Amino acid sequence: MALKTETVTLTQPTTGFVSLATRYSAETYVPEGLTVLFAHSTSNHKEQWDVTIRRLFGLCPNIINEAWAIDWQSHGQSALANGEALRSRTATLSDYADILRRLLESPDMKGKRIVVVGHSSSTLAWTLAVLQAVIPPSVIEAVILVEAAFILPPIKENDERVVRGIMNEKGVKSRKHTFPSRDEAAKWCRRRMPWKVWDDRIFKCYMEYAYRPVTSGSNEVTLNCTLEQEIVGYAPNVPLLAGHLYPKLCATYPVHGIFGERPELYSNATRDMFFDGKDGRVMKSVQILPKAGHLLVQEFPDTTADMLAKILKNSRLQAKSSSSRL
């Protein structure tokens, strides 16, 4: 399906940061069609959703009007746009949540039926954004959490979710981040997890948008999202806050979960807490992607689209059913 794409600049007046978003539009307007908003995981960027979004439009031709993929302010091309501002402060998950909230409240979203999709850390950002946004709850048709990264209470001693965050921080601090060339960076990544199991299209996209020349005209490259900025994404404060807010999220919006079969971020027992029905933890639907890990969007972008399409089609049927009863 042919899609129109444009880059939209979102502003955050409180920090001076901007966030670049890619807006995808269908050629034909669909009455009561959905607007699907995508946010990405830590150390990635909005373009990582491109393969999935394009397939999703093809699977749901009469359901989706537009999709937006929104950068975290310290990631991808947005990191370059915010270069000067990022030298004096970090862009936190709360900042990402704030820019998402501003988008929800903006004229661009007025009168639209919205579905939000988050992956890993951006599931936390979306939780803060949708619960803080001054909008009628009915505007949001569904909240889709891909590998949700909440730390749900109770917190135990040496809790695996907190330990994982600490391990991620240590791993980032010791990771190589500057290379003689983009080709050398690609070779280094392709020999290591998680990149060696990524879909080829996603890996190619990562190499294009995650790295920049160290200096103008130089072959040497480094990450757009600096290690200092990435580490911010593994702090426990927002996962803990979002974990406490999770029951409220489930009570306010239809929440759907997509998880990888391989336990990487947390155990399967911890995963199952998201939809165990206790303390208000209820999901409308749960799908487990076989053989996939935490970064299932990068490993299986097509199957991710298939799972998202299933949710959108069911949400559309439910909306039509509700309208017919009015």
Q: How do beta strands 221-223 and 178-179 pair?
A: antiparallel
Q: Is 23 exposed, middle or buried (0-12, 13-18, 19+ CB in 10 A)?
A: middle
Starting at the earlier edge strand, list the strands of the sheet with 255-260.
3-12, 17-26, 64-70, 34-39, 113-119, 140-146, 255-260, 285-289
The full length of the chain comes to: 326
Q: What is the pLDDT along the chain (326 residues), one digit of tens a residue?
A: 789 999 999 999 999 999 999 999 998 888 889 999 999 999 999 999 999 999 999 999 999 999 999 999 999 999 999 999 999 999 999 999 999 999 999 999 999 999 999 999 999 999 999 999 999 999 999 999 999 999 999 888 788 878 888 888 888 888 999 999 999 999 999 999 999 999 999 999 999 999 999 998 889 999 999 999 999 999 999 999 999 999 999 999 999 999 999 999 999 999 999 999 999 999 999 999 999 999 999 999 999 999 999 999 987 555 554 444 33
* Cα–Cα distance measured from residue 256 to residue 286, given in angstroms and rounded to the nearest whole number: 6
Q: What is the pLDDT of residue 3?
A: 95
Beta strand 113-119 pairing with 140-146 = parallel
For 39, 289, 317, the CA distances from 298, given in Å and listed in that order, are 14, 12, 29
Domain positions in the chain are: 3-168+236-325
Q: Are strands 3-12 and 17-26 parallel, antiparallel or unpaired?
A: antiparallel
Tell me if 129 sits within 8 A of 37, measured CB to CB.
no
| Segment 246-297, tens digit of pLDDT | 999 999 999 999 999 999 999 999 999 999 999 999 999 999 999 999 999 9
Cα–chain center distance at 306: 17
Name the CATH superfamily for 3-168+236-325: Alpha/Beta hydrolase fold, catalytic domain (3.40.50.1820)
Backbone angles phi, psi at 21, to 5 degrees: -125, 145
Question: How many Cβ atoms sit within 10 Å of the Cβ of residue 256?
Answer: 25
**pTM of this prediction?**
0.95
Asked if residue 234 lies in contact with residue 165, where contact means CB atoms within 8 angstroms, the answer is yes
How do the residues of the chain divide into helix, strand and coil, expressed in percent and rounded to 5?
45, 20, 35
Residue 142, strand partner residues: 115
3-class secondary structure, 233: coil
Q: Are 56 and 67 in contact (CB under 8 A)?
A: yes
Q: 1-16: per-residue pLDDT in tens?
A: 789 999 999 999 999 9
Decide if 123 contacts 49 (C-beta within 8 A): no
| C-alpha–C-alpha distance, residues 204 and 208, integer Å | 6
